[in-house]
């Protein structure tokens, strides 16, 4: 129905089933179809969130200019705040853990921008480092990728609930 109405849509698609079943029809109706897959960025439509951080880190490492370093810090902080603030929070949530999660993401974004290889400078690297820090198993190559619904409630990283692995974007 929505395809026939000609509306722009962003659709969470955790198993990529909607993409498989609707992408061809949507293209025939004139939609631009994008698959944004955070777990497989090489086979995803991309937006490089790390590009500005990479450019600023390279400039800082060559010039040692503190204004450039401040811009790098600021942009990494904005990225971390956007990631942590991506879902509604209850008033009873512990602000200590929210601040700590922003700090960790902020630090990891700078770490990757400054010292990562070119092929590692993407958001998936932040996720991979977090998984490594938390000792959670990574999904195997051919294993179906299931979203993590929740972690132990005693885990300070419980803000990572309900990860969505892919989105289907249909745009008129």
Of the pLDDT bands very low, low, confident and very high (cuts 50, 70, 90), residue 106 is very high
Residue with tokens 């400039």: 59
pTM of the model: 0.55
Of the pLDDT bands very low, low, confident and very high (cuts 50, 70, 90), residue 138 is low
* Phi, psi torsion values for 22, nearest 5 degrees: -120, -15
Instruction: Between 64 and 145, name the one with better pLDDT.
Output: 64
Q: What is the pLDDT of residue 160?
A: 35
Which of these ranges, 72-86, 119-133, 144-158, has the smallest mean pLDDT?
144-158
Q: What is the pLDDT of residue 165?
A: 40
Look over the chain and give the mean of its residue pLDDT values, rounded to a whole number: 76
Q: What is the pLDDT of residue 2?
A: 74
Residue 90: pLDDT over 50: yes
Of the candidates 4, 39, 43, 45, the residue with the CA atom closest to the CA atom of residue 22: 4
Residue 65: pLDDT over 90: yes
Q: What is the pLDDT of residue 29?
A: 87
- From the number of C-beta atoms within 10 Å of its C-beta (0-12, 13-18, 19+), residue 26 rates as buried
CA 59, 63, 66 angle in degrees (round to 5)? 85
């Amino acid at each position: 129905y929505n395809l026939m109405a000609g509306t722009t849509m962003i659709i969470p698609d955790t198993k990529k089933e909607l993409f498989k079943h609707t992408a061809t029809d949507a293209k025939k109706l004139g939609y631009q179809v994008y698959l944004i897959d955070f777990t497989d960025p090489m086979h995803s439509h991309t937006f490089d969130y790390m590009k500005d951080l990479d450019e600023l880190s390279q400039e800082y490492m060559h010039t040692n200019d503190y204004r450039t370093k401040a811009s790098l810090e600021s942009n990494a902080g904005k990225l971390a705040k956007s990631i942590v603030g991506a879902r509604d929070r209850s008033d009873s949530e512990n602000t200590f853990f929210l601040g700590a999660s922003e700090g960790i993401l902020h630090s990891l974004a700078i770490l990757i921008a400054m010292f990562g290889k070119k092929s590692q400078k993407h958001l998936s690297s932040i996720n991979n480092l977090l998984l490594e820090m938390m000792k959670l198993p990574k999904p195997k190559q051919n294993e179906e990728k299931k979203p993590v619904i929740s972690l132990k409630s005693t885990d300070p990283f419980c803000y990572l609930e309900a990860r969505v692995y892919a989105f289907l974007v249909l745009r008129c």
